[in-house]
Structure 1
Amino acid sequence: MENKEAKFGFTAFAESWNGRLAMLGFTIGVLTELLTGQGILSQLGLM
């Protein structure tokens, strides 16, 4: 608990987690699209 560095806002810590989660979401979206044969918008019922 000695580390007083901020963990919120535009910090390197937050940006690295944001990038990791964005890559994970993109990968899951592409895999879901390949498995179902439907686009993301059509899966959500928007098309």
Structure 2
Amino acid sequence: MTQSQPTVTPKLEEPKFGFSEYAERLNGRAAMIGFALTLVIEYATGQGVLEWLGLG
């Protein structure tokens, strides 16, 4: 006896929370913007981030 293969692929919903492709892409873009702004602040002020925050 052979089993028949499904003919329709189920359509899965995108998760509402947690790890999803959209959330990971958004988080990555926010991290890149934050890193670039940190470099701009360091260049403009001549101080490192810790000095700028008063911790160094």
TM-score (norm 1): 0.85
Structure 1 stretches (4+) deviating beyond 3 angstroms?
none
Q: How does 1:25-44 map to 2 (within 5 A)?
A: 25-44=34-53
Q: Which has the higher helix share?
A: 1
Percent identical = 52
Unmatched segments (≥5 aa) in structure 1 = none
Aligned-pair Cα RMSD in Å? 1.0
Higher relative contact order at CA 8 Å, sep ≥6: structure 1 or structure 2? 1
1:15-38 Cα offsets, whole Å, 9 max, x none, are: 000000000000000000000000
Unmatched segments (≥5 aa) in structure 2 = 1-12
TM-score (norm 2): 0.72
Q: How many residues were matched structurally?
A: 44
Indicate the structure (1 or 2) with the bigger Cα radius of gyration: 2
